[in-house]
Chain A
Amino acid sequence: MNLRPDPTFHATAKLAMQAPVETLAFTLMLSPDGSQPDGLAVVDVDPKSDTYGQIVHSLFMPNKGDEFHHFGWNACSSALSPLTGHAFLERRYLIIPGIRSSRIYVIDVKEPLKAKIHKIIEPEELFEKTGYSRPHTIHCGPEGIYVSTLGGGGEDGTDGPPGIFIMDCETFEILGRYEMDRGIQDKHYDFWWNLPRDYMVSSEWGLPPQFENGIVPEDLLSNKYGHTIHFWDLRGRKVTKSIDLGANHQMALEIRPAHDPVKEYGFCGVVVDTSNLQGAIFTWWRDEDGEWQAKKTITIDPVPADADDLPELLKGFGACPPLVTDIDLSLDDRFLYVACWGLGEMHQYDVSDPMNPKLAGKVEIGGIVKKTPHPNGKDFGYGPQMVEISRDGKRVYWTNSLYSTWDDQFYPGDRGAAMVMADVGENGGLTLNKDFWVDFPEGYRSHQIRLEGGDCSTDSFCYPSV
């Protein structure tokens, strides 16, 4: 407990943009075959430092086979609402779930270069207290830390629907399930909210048998992955509306609401449209009558390709799908970054008008067919995937692994971990920074990035940016 609010908590997104820039990043490292323990890399992102772009500290876990994926903070700017009653929490612990093992690590990064394990929650405790498995997205909410899960109970995670559970934000005790009335929600992936407006939006990937051993082509072609987003009464814990984006819009993943809580809209990325292999972004919003709506506002076309250049899975299609696997919105709600993991492109859209996004910048790197190298000459394996934006919106970082078994299907062979950064132009535009390239230890892949002091997919703001 502090005597003053943590200096990295900001009342508005605008104040967060004006805060000192990040000097460190935290990146998850996973061992794709489980032969080594997964770890947390602390990366120097201060261009004035001698160790710029290098891993300056690594913490490896005592277990193997966790498969690190997403992670988050114990506390964020949401603490600055009197309604939460936790204004004096410290942003100090990273909550890192193992998506494969269902084990949860709480890592103390008060001294980032001496990051240490604070607590481990074993899978059995999670199963027993929640009936959920495969924990995923972390957000700091009204009653503590909210964690989404991808699996229900039982060996293969299909005994009951997956959902969200709540952890105490000080003791990290698992308190129990969140939902009181989930409606038709039977799959889960991401979630985020608007705290003062008291709503939450959640999305769907697929159930564990549909992803753990790789993508199931029959399920994809018969549109059995998730394609519905759910709108919740946040504190009432019930679904108020579910919008089916259309069965062909397979895998509705990242939910990115506008950071300014005055705005009642946001975005959701769809990996692939099975009718034409396009990638898509939907804009969702609340209309004048208070009804939730969603509309497709961005489509990204597949690129025709020779079957010889395509992996087994895609040979029959004669085209490379964009595969929109991650999206992220800058704190001023102006630029939406869209990772096209299949094409090997990072797109930047100006979403000042959320109903009419305009392509403002683009970077090509990696890709199934193109395999574009980094400007420093090095090969960038896989494609742009987990993307994180600096608070000031001037730097965009990303890594290249999607999920161990899926990496191997779309990009056979081991292609190495990468983390790169692109500079953002004054009025948009995106250029890869040729001086920033992170080398990872042998045999690892890289996944989500968190920036010291918060970033564009962690903090929830309770006051408007005026």
Chain B
Amino acid sequence: MSVTALWWAVIVSGIYHGVNPGMGWPLAVSAALMERKTSALPGALFALAGGHFLAMTAILLPFSMMAALVMWEAEIRIGAGLIVIALGVYLLINRRHPRFLARVPPSRLALWSFLAAMAHGAGLMLVPIYLGLCAPETLDAGHRAASDLMTANIWTAFWVAAVHTAAMTLAGGALAAGMYFWLGLKFLSRTWFNLDVVWALSLIVVGGIGIFTAGH
């Protein structure tokens, strides 16, 4: 896969996470209405984005270390793909939502967003794409020091998390603003679709692509 296609995958996955009400954008509408001030809307989106970004980096950074082990590149990518597929299969079988998320107070949106992203494997979904982006760096790895490589991979991890989170926040923010300013709350129950199965299948597909491209 080309680098451009991979970056588009980062953006598209961000939009995909962002439009899902389960990832939190209705909470931004709620915040603005509850506090009776429009500025609370971007404030809440910012908190949600912060939590999501942290969850992405928490997952990607360990892989950035591993990606520096050049000689194991294919094995790491296959292993990561298998983990992502396994989570997808698990979420397909176990449709129950984690109860601990309901213990987070509504005032702590960033924490909630972090935990929700972790619990649903939002970060893992990015791993195969991320490892694909790291791969071109390894082609001339023989000529570069491992520390250089790791630094480059860490920066890539941050960029992937940032671009993904920005896409997510813009998509969710657009829906939140649309509902807040024009469409009204009726829009919420009409446009909320159960994505549980689609989500689990996406994990399996992304993991599968990761494994498939690892060998090529």
Residues of A within 8 A of B (CB): 1-5, 7, 9-12, 15, 80-88, 142-144, 170, 195-198, 235-236, 261-262, 462-464, 466
Identify 14 new A-B residue pairs, CB closer than 8 A, beyond the known A15-B186, A81-B26: A1-B196, A4-B194, A12-B185, A80-B192, A83-B106, A85-B101, A88-B196, A143-B99, A196-B34, A198-B106, A198-B107, A262-B34, A262-B36, A463-B185
Flag if B188 contacts A80 (CB, 8 Å). Answer: yes
Quick one: which of B107-121 are within 8 Å of A by CB? 107, 112, 116
A87 touches B22 (CB 8 A): yes
Q: What chain B residues lie within 8 Å of A170 (beta carbons)?
A: 96
Indicate which residue in B22, B29, B103, B104 contacts A463 across the interface (CB closer than 8 Å). B29
Contact A11 B188, beta carbon cutoff 8 Å: yes
Q: Which residues does chain A contribute within 8 Å of B104, judged by CB atoms?
A: 83, 235
Q: Does B24 contact A (CB under 8 A)?
A: yes
Instruction: Specify the chain B residue showing the minimal Cβ separation from A466.
Output: B33
Q: Are the C-beta atoms of B34 and A261 separated by less than 8 Å?
A: yes
Residues 137-174 of B at the A interface (beta carbon under 8 Å): none
Chain B residue contacts of A463, Cβ below 8 A: 26, 29-30, 33, 185, 188
Q: Is the CB of B99 within 8 A of A82?
A: no
Give the residues in chain A near B188, CB-CB below 8 Å: 11, 80, 463
Instruction: Enumerate B9-27 residues with CB–CB distance to A below 8 Å.
Output: 21-24, 26-27
Residues of A within 8 Å of B106, CB to CB, are: 83, 195-198
A2 to B19 CA separation, bound complex (whole angstroms): 19
A122 to B33 alpha-carbon distance, docked (Å): 44
Contact of A235 among B26, B105, B189, B192 (CB under 8 A): B105
- A355 → chain B, closest Cβ, in Å? 21
* Residues of the B chain whose Cβ atoms lie less than 8 Å from the Cβ of A81: 26-27, 30
Write the nearest CB–CB distance from A184 to chain B, whole angstroms. 24
How many residue pairs link A and B with beta carbons under 8 A? The number is 92
How many B residues are at the interface, by size bracket? 20 to 34
Complex formed: what's the CA distance from A81 to B185 in Å? 12
Are A85 and B22 interface neighbours, CB within 8 A? yes
A145, chain B: closest CB distance, angstroms: 12
Query: Inside 8 A of A464's CB, which chain B residues have their CB?
Result: 30, 33-34
The reply to whether B193 and A3 contact each other, CB–CB distance below 8 Å, is yes
Contact B102 A83 (CB under 8 A): yes
Q: Which single member of A5, A9, A12, A86 contacts B97 (CB below 8 Å)?
A: A86
Docked-complex contact B102 and A88, CB < 8 angstroms: no
B95 within 8 A of A: yes
Question: Which of A10, A15, A87 makes the CB contact (< 8 A) with B192?
Answer: A87
Q: Is B215 positioned at the interface, with any CB of A under 8 Å from its CB?
A: no
CB contact list, B169-216 vs A, under 8 A: 185-186, 188-189, 192-194, 196
**Contact across chains for A235 and B101 when beta carbons are under 8 A apart:** no
Min CB distance B147 to A, Å, is 42
CB distance from A203 to the nearest CB of B (A): 23
Q: A15-B185, A235-B104, A262-B34 are in contact. Are A87 and B29 (CB under 8 A)?
A: no
Evaluate whether A82 and B103 lie within 8 angstroms (CB atoms) in the complex, with A1-B95, A4-B193, A5-B189 already known. no
User: What's the minimum C-beta distance from B17 to chain A, rounded to whole angstroms?
Assistant: 13
Residues on A with C-beta less than 8 A from B185 are 11-12, 15, 463
A88 to B20, CA, bound (A): 13
Q: Are B24 and A82 in contact (CB under 8 A)?
A: yes
| A85 lies within 8 A of B36 (CB) | no
Whether A11 contacts B186 in the complex (CB less than 8 A), given A1-B95, A87-B22, A262-B36, comes out as yes
**Looking at the complex, which one of B95, B96, B189 makes contact with A9 (CB distance below 8 Å)?**
B189
| Interface pair A88/B194, CB less than 8 Å apart | yes
Bound-state CA distance A198–B107 (Å) is: 9
Q: Tell me the complex Cα distance, A463–B105, Å.
A: 16
Whether the pair A235, B30 counts as a contact (CB closer than 8 A) is: no
Bound Cα distance A300, B104 (Å):
42
Task: Quote the shortest CB–CB distance from B37 to chain A (angstroms).
Answer: 12
Contact present for A85 and B30 (CB under 8 Å): no
Q: Shortest beta-carbon distance, B104 to chain A, in Å?
A: 7
**Shortest beta-carbon distance, A165 to chain B, in Å?**
14
Chain A hits for B36, CB < 8 A? 262
Q: Residues of B contacting A86 with CB < 8 Å? A: 97
With A143-B99, A198-B107 as contacts: A80 and B189 at CB distance below 8 Å: yes
Chain A nearest CB from B18 CB (Å) reads 13
